[in-house]
Structure 1
Amino acid sequence: MIASILPTYNRAPLTFVSGEGSWLTEADGRHFLDLGAGIAVNALGHAHPALVAALTDQAQALWHVSNLYNIPAQQKLADALVDQTFADTVFFTNSGTESCELAVKMARKYWYDKGQPDRTEIITFSGSFHGRSSAGISAAGSEKMTKGFGPLLPGFTHLEFGDHDALQSAVSDKIAAILVEPVQGEGGIRPLPDQCLKGLRDLCDQHGILLIFDEVQCGMGRTGKLFAHEWAGITPDIMMVAKGIGGGFPLGAVLATENAASSMTAGTHGSTYGGNPLACAVGAKVMEIVADDAFLAEVNRKAGHLRQKLEGLVAAHPDVFETVRGSGLMLGLKCKTTNTDVVAAGYAQNILTVPAADNVIRLLPALTITDAEIDEAIKRLDAAATTMTEADA
Structure 2
Amino acid sequence: MPGAPGTSGRVRTAGGRRAVAGSPYGGCAGAGGNAGPVVASEPAAGTSTKAHTARVGAGQGRGLHEGAGQGSGMAGSGSGTGPGSGTGPGTGTGPGTGPGTGPGAGGRRSAPRRQAAREPAARTYARALPVVPVRARGLTIEGADGRRYLDCVSGAGTLALGHNHPVVLDAIRAVLDSGAPLHVMDLTTPVEDAFVTELLRTLPPGLADRARVRFCGPAGTAPVDAAVALARAATGRTRVVTVTDAVTVTDAVTDADADADETFLDDDHGGGPGRERPAGLLLEPVRSEAGVRPVPDGLVRRLRARAADRAVPLIVDETGTGVGRTGAYWAFEHSGVTPDVLVLAKAIGGSLPLAVVVHREDLVEPDRTAGAFRGNQLALAAGAATLAHVREHRLAEHAATLGGRMLTGLRALAAEFTCVGDVRGRGLMAGVELVAPDTAPDVAAHGARPGTAVRPGTAAHLATAVRRECLRRGLIVDVTGPRANVVRLLPPLIVTEEQMSAVLDRLTDAVRAVDRDRPGGSVPLRGKRGPR
Deviation for aligned residue 1:55: 0.8
Q: Matches of 1:169 and 1:91 in 2, distance apart?
A: 29
* Residue aligned with 2:279, SS: strand
* Residue aligned with 1:24, SS: strand
* Residue aligned with 2:358, SS: strand
2:383 paired residue among 273, 283, 288: 283
Q: Matches of 2:432 and 2:249 in 1, distance apart?
A: 19
- TM-score normalised by length of structure 2: 0.63
2:182 paired residue among 64, 68, 92: 64
Matched residues, percent identical?
30
Deviation for aligned residue 1:263: 2.7
Deviation for aligned residue 1:268: 2.0
The residue aligned with 2:419 is 320
1:102 paired residue among 221, 226, 250: 226
Letter in 1 for 2:360: T
* Residue aligned with 2:150, SS: strand
Deviation for aligned residue 1:170: 5.0
Deviation for aligned residue 1:63: 4.1
The residue aligned with 1:240 is 343
Return closer, same or farther for 1:368/1:293 CA change in 2, 3 Å cut-off.
closer
Q: Given that residues 350 and 385 in structure 2 are in contact (C-alpha distance below 8 angstroms), is that contact kept between their aligned partners in structure 1?
A: no
Return closer, same or farther for 1:182/1:68 CA change in 2, 3 Å cut-off.
closer
Q: Which deviations, in whole Å up to 9, do the C-alpha atoms of 1:132-191 show, x marking residues without a partner? A: xxxxxxxxxxxxxxxxxxxxxxxxx78737535574245324311011101100001111
Return closer, same or farther for 1:356/1:57 CA change in 2, 3 Å cut-off.
same
Q: Matches of 1:209 and 1:325 in 2, distance apart?
A: 30
**Runs of 4+, deviation exceeding 6 Å:** none
Q: Matches of 2:161 and 2:338 in 1, distance apart?
A: 25
The residue aligned with 1:28 is 145
Letter in 2 for 1:296: A
Q: Given that residues 96 and 216 in structure 1 are in contact (C-alpha distance below 8 angstroms), is that contact kept between their aligned partners in structure 2?
A: no
Deviation for aligned residue 1:342: 1.5
Letter in 2 for 1:291: R
Q: Is residue 343 from structure 1 mapped to residue 467 from structure 2 by the alignment?
A: yes
Q: Which deviations, in whole Å up to 9, do the C-alpha atoms of 1:173-230 show, x marking residues without a partner? A: 4311011101100001111111111011101111000100111001111001111000
Q: Is residue 274 from structure 1 mapped to residue 374 from structure 2 by the alignment?
A: yes
Deviation for aligned residue 1:7: 3.4
Deviation for aligned residue 1:120: 1.0
Deviation for aligned residue 1:286: 0.6
Task: State which structure, 1 or 2, has the greater radius of gyration over its C-alpha atoms.
Answer: 2
1:254 paired residue among 349, 357, 366: 357
Return closer, same or farther for 1:355/1:65 CA change in 2, 3 Å cut-off.
closer
1:91 paired residue among 214, 222, 229: 214
Q: Given that residues 186 and 374 in structure 2 are in contact (C-alpha distance below 8 angstroms), is that contact kept between their aligned partners in structure 1?
A: no
The residue aligned with 2:490 is 364
* Residue aligned with 1:160, SS: helix
Q: Given that residues 159 and 167 in structure 1 are in contact (C-alpha distance below 8 angstroms), is that contact kept between their aligned partners in structure 2?
A: no
Return closer, same or farther for 1:159/1:382 CA change in 2, 3 Å cut-off.
closer
Q: Which deviations, in whole Å up to 9, do the C-alpha atoms of 1:43-81 show, x marking residues without a partner? A: 100110110111111122224242363211111111222
* Residue aligned with 2:199, SS: helix
Q: Matches of 1:90 and 1:5 in 2, distance apart?
A: 37
* Residue aligned with 1:25, SS: strand
2:476 paired residue among 352, 365, 369: 352
1:123 paired residue among 232, 236, 241: 241
* Superposed CA RMSD: 2.2
Which is further off, 370-379 or 62-71?
62-71
Larger fraction in helix:
1
2:198 paired residue among 73, 80, 84: 80
Q: Higher relative contact order at CA 8 Å, sep ≥6: structure 1 or structure 2?
A: 1
Q: Given that residues 96 and 241 in structure 1 are in contact (C-alpha distance below 8 angstroms), is that contact kept between their aligned partners in structure 2?
A: no
Return closer, same or farther for 1:236/1:96 CA change in 2, 3 Å cut-off.
farther
Return closer, same or farther for 1:14/1:381 CA change in 2, 3 Å cut-off.
same
- TM-score normalised by length of structure 1: 0.84
Q: Given that residues 95 and 243 in structure 1 are in contact (C-alpha distance below 8 angstroms), is that contact kept between their aligned partners in structure 2?
A: no
Task: Kindly report which structure 2 residues correspond to 1:366-381, keeping only aligned pairs within 5 A, or say none.
Answer: 366-381=492-507
1:7 paired residue among 121, 124, 129: 121
* Residue aligned with 2:197, SS: helix
* Residue aligned with 2:394, SS: helix
Return closer, same or farther for 1:297/1:68 CA change in 2, 3 Å cut-off.
closer
Q: Is residue 231 from structure 1 mapped to residue 334 from structure 2 by the alignment?
A: yes
Q: Matches of 1:159 and 1:382 in 2, distance apart?
A: 33
Letter in 2 for 1:67: M
Deviation for aligned residue 1:89: 1.4
Task: Kindly report which structure 2 residues correspond to 1:51-200, keeping only aligned pairs within 5 A, or say none.
Answer: 51-61=168-178, 62-67=180-185, 69-85=187-203, 86-87=207-208, 88-93=211-216, 94-95=218-219, 97-112=221-236, 119-126=237-244, 160=248, 163=251, 167-169=262-264, 171-172=266-267, 173-200=276-303
Letter in 1 for 2:422: T
Q: Matches of 2:396 and 2:171 in 1, distance apart?
A: 21
Q: Is residue 390 from structure 1 mapped to residue 519 from structure 2 by the alignment?
A: no
Paired residues, number: 353
Q: Given that residues 121 and 175 in structure 1 are in contact (C-alpha distance below 8 angstroms), is that contact kept between their aligned partners in structure 2?
A: yes
Letter in 1 for 2:486: V
* Residue aligned with 2:374, SS: coil
* Residue aligned with 1:303, SS: helix
Q: Given that residues 96 and 240 in structure 1 are in contact (C-alpha distance below 8 angstroms), is that contact kept between their aligned partners in structure 2?
A: no
Letter in 1 for 2:191: A
